[in-house]
């Protein structure tokens, strides 16, 4: 790697990290305002115009709050747990493609930090590590409430990680690559035009539905927020945390929400693809970046909408739903997609089918 490319990579890392941390702060603001609207109340509207400086005020509050560490905790692991929750959640953005390539000052800049031919596996590896922070926080706190929250999170992760992983196998069968950039590039076109290849329309609506339900459970969001469950566990795994350690768990949760929304966009909704995004002009990649951001915003809104609408499952319902419904449906989706792919190529049905049905 040349010095110029190294500096470009460092700048991209700084920009992505700054944008994601800012987005995490303002997703909390968005959630509070949307929930207030759903519940016919005002929400934060005093700090700055329309309350837009509320995340800044909250950040300052967390920094200056007293950091209370209970006497009986396993101190090293107690301090390490929030770091283990936050760092993997941020590392996923190293390989998520936000847009196409853009020419700046003669340099061909890719709108993602780095490309891997197994970037999908990297994202799943990082997201799977986040649960360790939650489990260790529950165990190290030496509190029954925290321990129950950590145990619930581990059981929930095992249950829904299987369905989550299997839900995207249909996409991999159609695309034939683990590279997120290639997955986006295979989904040219938009909406239901004849050239559309968005996977959600190309025989993967069931896969997307399973994926979205599973990521709700993976990110511990309502109706799957059993690891926190304030009504019976006070706050669950983070009951004994305060100050910035408490804030880091929430930053990890909202970063995971953005990751899940980005992955849904990349795997099923064409990533940066949209009208004009594949133009060879300079504004094409910028337009694609806007499409990507709009799709992620839409998924985040649905996250919040679900929180303001649905009640929490009982724990037995949570486990039954994952093992008895989502997992069989995910296996059925794989069998259906593989069968269609085989028949399509074996009988050479391409001349008789519109492009969006080809599952290329």
Q: Residue 55 falls within a domain, yes or no? A: no
Domain count, the chain: 1
Question: Whose CA is closest to 147, among 155, 134, 138?
Answer: 138
Express each pLDDT in 12-49 by its tens digit.
889 989 999 999 999 999 999 999 999 888 888 888 89
Model pLDDT, residue 295 = 93
Q: What is the pLDDT of residue 355?
A: 52
> 351: pLDDT confidence band, cut at 50, 70 and 90?
low
Q: Is 335 contained in some domain? A: yes
Report if residue 1 sits inside a domain.
Answer: no
User: Percent of the chain beyond pLDDT 90?
Assistant: 23
Q: Rounded to a whole number, what is the distance in angstroms from the first to the last CA of the chain?
A: 34
Report whether the peptide linkage leading into residue 23 is cis, meaning its omega lies within 30 degrees of zero: no
Average pLDDT of the chain is: 84
228 pLDDT above the threshold of 50: yes
Q: pLDDT per residue over 121-147, tens digit each?
A: 999 888 888 888 888 888 888 888 888
- Domain contains 340: yes
Domain range for 261 is 71-357
**Domain-located, residue 339:** yes
pLDDT in tens, 97-107: 888 888 777 77
In this structure, what token pair is assigned to residue 221? 């969001």
pLDDT computed for residue 194 by the predictor: 46
In the predicted structure, residue 349 carries a pLDDT above the cut 70: no
Whole-model pTM: value is 0.88
Per-residue pLDDT tens for 158-183? Answer: 888 889 999 999 899 888 888 898 88
């Amino acid at each position: 790697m040349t010095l110029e490319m190294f500096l470009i990579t460092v700048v991209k890392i700084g920009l992505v990290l700054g944008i994601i941390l800012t987005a995490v702060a303002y997703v909390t603001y968005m959630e509070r305002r949307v929930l207030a609207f759903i519940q016919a109340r005002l929400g934060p509207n005093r700090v700055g115009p329309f309350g837009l400086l509320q995340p800044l005020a909250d950040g300052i509050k967390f920094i200056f709050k007293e950091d209370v560490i209970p006497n009986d905790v396993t101190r090293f692991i107690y301090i390490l747990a929030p770091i283990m929750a936050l760092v993997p959640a941020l590392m996923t953005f190293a390989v998520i493609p936000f847009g196409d390539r853009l020419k700046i000052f003669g340099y061909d800049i890719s709108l993602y930090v780095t490309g891997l031919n197994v970037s999908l596996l990297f994202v799943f590896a990082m997201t799977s590590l986040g649960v360790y922070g939650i489990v260790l926080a529950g165990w190290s706190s030496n509190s029954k409430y925290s321990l129950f929250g950590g145990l619930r999170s581990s059981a929930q992760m095992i249950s829904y990680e299987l369905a989550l992983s299997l839900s995207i196998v249909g996409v991999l069968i159609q695309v034939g690559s683990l590279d997120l950039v290639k997955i986006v590039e295979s989904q040219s076109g938009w909406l239901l035009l004849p050239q559309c290849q968005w996977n959600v329309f190309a025989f993967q609506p069931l896969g997307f539905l399973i994926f979205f339900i599973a990521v709700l459970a993976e990110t511990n969001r309502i109706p799957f927020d059993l690891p926190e469950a304030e009504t019976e566990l006070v706050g669950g795994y983070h009951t004994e945390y305060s100050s910035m350690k408490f804030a880091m768990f929430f930053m990890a949760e909202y970063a995971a929400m953005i990751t899940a929304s980005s992955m849904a966009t990349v795997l099923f909704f064409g990533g940066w693809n949209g009208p004009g995004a594949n133009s060879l002009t300079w504004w094409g990649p910028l337009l694609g970046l806007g499409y990507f951001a709009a799709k992620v915003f839409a998924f985040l809104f649905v996250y919040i909408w679900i929180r303001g609408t649905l009640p929490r499952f009982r724990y037995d319902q949570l486990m039954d739903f994952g093992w008895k419904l989502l997992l069989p449906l995910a296996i059925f989706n794989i069998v259906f997609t593989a069968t269609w792919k085989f028949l399509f190529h074996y009988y050479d049905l391409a001349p008789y089918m519109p492009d969006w049905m080809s599952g290329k």
